């Protein structure tokens, strides 16, 4: 849906054979997976900086007891976050300094640059 709207705003149809990357570059919009990664890491940094008695930090460290269903294990949030940390080459210890953390993860949000006038 996002690309459909960007194409409409650019006045470009699929018949014009313009790639999604060209259109995103024209508007300065980051791909959705990058935006999602940034959002997850921003939340994870907030949780790491929180005190140990907050609900989100307690819930993040919970181990669920019981048997797992057959088949491939479901993708867990922490697994996804660890993949994101590796992709961005960030260590969780950087989350203690909020400014550094935001600078390291803030690559996919060009709207903040674009909207400031």
**Environment class of residue 59 by beta-carbon count within 10 Å: exposed (0-12), middle (13-18) or buried (19+)?**
exposed
What are 12-60's pLDDT values in tens digits? 888 888 888 888 888 888 888 888 999 999 999 999 999 989 998 888 8
Q: 80 lies in which domain range?
A: 31-62+74-117
- What's the whole-model pTM score? 0.74
- Residue 91 within a domain: yes
3 state SS of 117 = coil
Q: How confident is the model at residue 71 (pLDDT cuts 50, 70, 90)?
A: very high
**Phi and psi, residue 12, nearest 5°:** -115, 135
pLDDT at 38: 92
CA angle 85, 86, 89 (to 5 degrees): 85
Query: How many domains is the chain partitioned into structurally?
Result: 2
Tokens of 82: 């660890």
Instruction: Give residue 33's Cα distance to chain centre.
Output: 6
Pair (99, 54) in one structural domain = yes
* 67 within domain boundaries: no
């Amino acid at each position: 849906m996002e690309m459909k709207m960007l194409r409409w705003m650019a006045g470009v149809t699929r018949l014009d054979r313009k790639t999604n990357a060209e259109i995103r570059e024209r508007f300065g919009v980051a791909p959705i997976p990058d935006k999602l990664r940034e959002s997850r890491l921003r939340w994870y940094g907030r949780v790491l900086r929180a005190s140990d008695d907050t609900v989100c930090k307690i819930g993040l460290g919970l181990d669920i007891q019981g048997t797992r269903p057959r088949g491939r294990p479901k993708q867990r949030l922490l697994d996804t976050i660890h993949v994101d940390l590796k992709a961005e080459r960030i260590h969780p210890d950087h989350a203690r300094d909020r400014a550094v953390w935001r600078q390291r993860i803030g690559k996919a949000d060009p709207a903040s640059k674009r909207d400031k006038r």
